[in-house]
Chains A and B, each alone.
Chain A
Amino acid sequence: MSAGWRRGLGRFASDRASALGLALLVVLILAAIFAPILAPFPGDVADFHTANRLRPPDTVNWLGTDRMGSDLFSRILFGARITITIAVVAVGAAVVIGVPIGLLAGYYGGWPSNFLMRVSDVFLAVPQIVLAIAIAQTLGPSIENVILALSITYWPFWARLVFAETRSLKNEVFIESAIALGASPLRVMTLHVLPNIASAIIVRTSIGMGGTILTAAALGFLGLGAPPPTPEWGRMIAESREFLPEAWWYATVPGVAIFVVVMGFNLLGDGLRDFLDPRIRRGARAK
């Protein structure tokens, strides 16, 4: 097994795509952390200078200015903080809700488990964005509410995944013997089941981050995210619409930013899947 892991690790490191994904994310997170230092005009998150409005990119405003004359580069850097916060907190909450539900339902079975899985099926039957829009709208536009809306609509993904994995693991000999040896259900779940399904959860989480960022941006685009002047990327794109086609940079800059982050998470997720996928690892172990 350790040989399989080592081979997987080598494959992960040598895979240029996943390395690129990781690099993109590291750069982005650093940019978000050091936004106040890196931004040429950190005050432009809230300040405006209408005399400078809609300037194309130049040496002063590297990525141009928006309709209020604020520096787009600075706003993008601060926007990264919002985007990353939303993705991490919303997905984190969905994992915290979904994983225990899936674990309990998969371990115990019976009607409560069926009920829980049916509830998650119902959530999965409707496009996430529809429920998220409904929730975000009823709660009122704010970052906290976007996060809440996303967590409520995303937990079923993890519940389903963990449920299926736990179900199939429960029949494995090592789980059965742990139960036969008198290990408590809690112990079996946390020490035997969870470590074996962790890789599947990690992969799903990394790919889920990308999807969450896209949904959050869509909510922002519809005006359901943080209120202005918050530099939320989706809202910035919505604002830029009326200035097309003249102010091309205005719509381009936040769009590229979203693209780069989502790409980073997707590439990382793909790499992690090749590296951690239980089926691949099982195959390597069998040889």
Chain B
Amino acid sequence: MRRIEMILSRLVWFVPTMAGLVIIVFLISNVIPTDPVKVLLGENATPAQIEAMRVKLGYDQPLWVQLARHFHDIVSGNLGISIYSQRPISEDLAKRLPATLELTLTAIILSVALGIPLGVISALKRNSLLDHILRVISVSGLAIAAFWLALLLQFFFAMKLGVAPLNSRIDGFGPTPVTGLMIIDSMLDWDMESLHSALSHIALPALTLALPAAATIVRFTRAGVLDVINSNHVLYQRAMGLPPGLIVWKYVLRNALISTVTQIGLIFGVLVTNAVIVETVFDWPGIGTFAVQSILQSDHKAIIGFTIWIGALIVIVNLLVDITHSFIDPRGSR
């Protein structure tokens, strides 16, 4: 019952949070010196043309009327037409979202798969050489600029070694879109060539995103394991002669993961932040490149649309994290 209450209260807050987000982004994108209509029509447009376009796009209305219309549009699922692509923004975003999801999910899986075992080992072999090396790497992982790491990986693996493609998402046409995730779609098609291409294309951007995330997970897992390993229930199980591997990988890890799972919500925020940049470096056709392009072209509606989608995505991920948390921690300490 407590779980349902928690989920409901989060859902109730979802609406005002998203509304606040819309207002803030709207205000920010309107308090600006650049005039989107001028940008759209170019330097040579006549004042009459500009005025006509202004009326057509609704920029002649007072701010609050624009805002009200904007809310109406969003509630009806219409984020407007992208000034440049001349396609509905929701459509553009929906088309690009799977690419971003595939990239960030791969990065999360990679960082968890790397971070948790290394964190546990680091804690078990505390103050060993391995522990020191891992700690240096994990502190460094948080200090590297994502776009620079992306360039480094491109430099070594794509340019020097030639083992991975430099950018883009797949060679050729790719598999029949079902989920929109190339890796899964090519498995559904049983198309090994596409699968190989998809995996080799995602490797570098996913690694770029995963390394700092893995560094964070190593730190939290290590701290969590150290916290638990001296607890009385571990002492009890050791005293009762349970296999040491069982105690660590089943019981200690389960306790340590409670704090790590909470961190994954935060990590996801950082991942999405970095994805905006990393997608740009790797020409990854996700919503990050879309956002950067829209911003560089002063496409307000596209920026607002992107921000709403990202905000919603992060709020949903945090909700999922809270639900997961309530399952792995029966005490319901929140």
Contacts and interface: CB of A to CB of B under 8 A. Distances in A.
B135 to A, nearest CB: 8
B273 A259 contact: no
B148 A258 contact: yes
B34 interface: yes
Interface in B278-316: 280, 291-292, 295-296, 298, 303, 306-307, 310-311, 314-315
B119 to A, nearest CB: 16
Nearest to B288: A130
Nearest to B277: A218
A221 B298 CA distance: 18
A130 B291 contact: yes
Contacts of A221: 145, 147, 277
A138 B307 CA distance: 15
B148 A263 contact: no
B277 A255 contact: no
Contacts of B21: 122, 125-126
Given A125-B21, A126-B311, A262 B143 contact: yes
B140 interface: yes
A237 interface: yes
Interface in A126-180: 126-131, 133-135, 137-140
A104 interface: no
Interface string A253-270: 011001100110011001
B143 A263 contact: yes
Contacts of A23: none
Interface stretch (A39-47, A198-206, A241-249): A241-249
Contacts of B270: 127
Given A127-B269, A222-B277, A259-B145, A133 B295 contact: yes
| Interface band, chain B | 35 or more
A137 B155 contact: no
A125 B28 contact: no
A130 B310 contact: yes
Nearest to B308: A126
Given A130-B291, A138-B28, A237 B147 contact: yes
A130 B152 CA distance: 24
A3 to B, nearest CB: 24
B20 interface: yes
Contact of B34 (A119, A140, A210, A245): A140
B281 to A, nearest CB: 8
A234 B311 CA distance: 26
B178 interface: no
Contacts of A255: 144-145, 148, 151-152
A137 B296 CA distance: 7
Interface in A81-128: 118-119, 121-123, 125-128
A251 interface: yes
Given A119-B20, A131-B28, A134-B25, A244 B159 contact: yes
Nearest to A222: B292
A28 interface: no
A222 B16 CA distance: 32
Nearest to B272: A127
B130 interface: no
A217 interface: yes
B29 A134 contact: yes
A209 to B, nearest CB: 11
Given A133-B292, A137-B298, A218-B146, A127 B152 contact: no
Given A126-B314, A258-B148, A138 B31 contact: yes
A126 B311 CA distance: 5
Given A133-B295, A134-B295, A259-B145, A244 B155 contact: yes
Contact of A122 (B24, B34, B145, B292): B24
Contacts of A270: 139
Contacts of B307: 126, 130-131, 134
A226 interface: no
Interface in B242-290: 269-270, 272-273, 276-277, 280
B160 A127 contact: no
A270 B219 CA distance: 12
B163 interface: no
Contact of A130 (B17, B144, B273): B273
B33 interface: yes
A124 to B, nearest CB: 8
B32 interface: yes
Contacts of A32: none
B111 interface: no
Interface in B183-239: none
Q: Which 3 residue pairs across A and B have the least CB separation, nearest first?
A: A127-B273, A138-B32, A255-B148
Interface of A: 17, 118-119, 121-123, 125-131, 133-135, 137-140, 210, 214, 217-218, 221-223, 234, 237, 240-241, 244-245, 248, 251, 254-255, 258-259, 262-263, 266-267, 270
28 contacts: A119-B24, A122-B24, A126-B21, A126-B25, A127-B269, A128-B273, A129-B273, A130-B291, A130-B307, A131-B28, A218-B146, A222-B296, A223-B296, A244-B151, A244-B159, A245-B155, A248-B155, A251-B151, A255-B145, A255-B152, A258-B145, A258-B148, A259-B140, A259-B143, A259-B144, A262-B144, A262-B145, A266-B142
Interface of B: 16-17, 20-21, 24-25, 28-29, 31-34, 139-140, 142-148, 151-152, 154-155, 159-160, 269-270, 272-273, 276-277, 280, 291-292, 295-296, 298, 303, 306-307, 310-311, 314-315
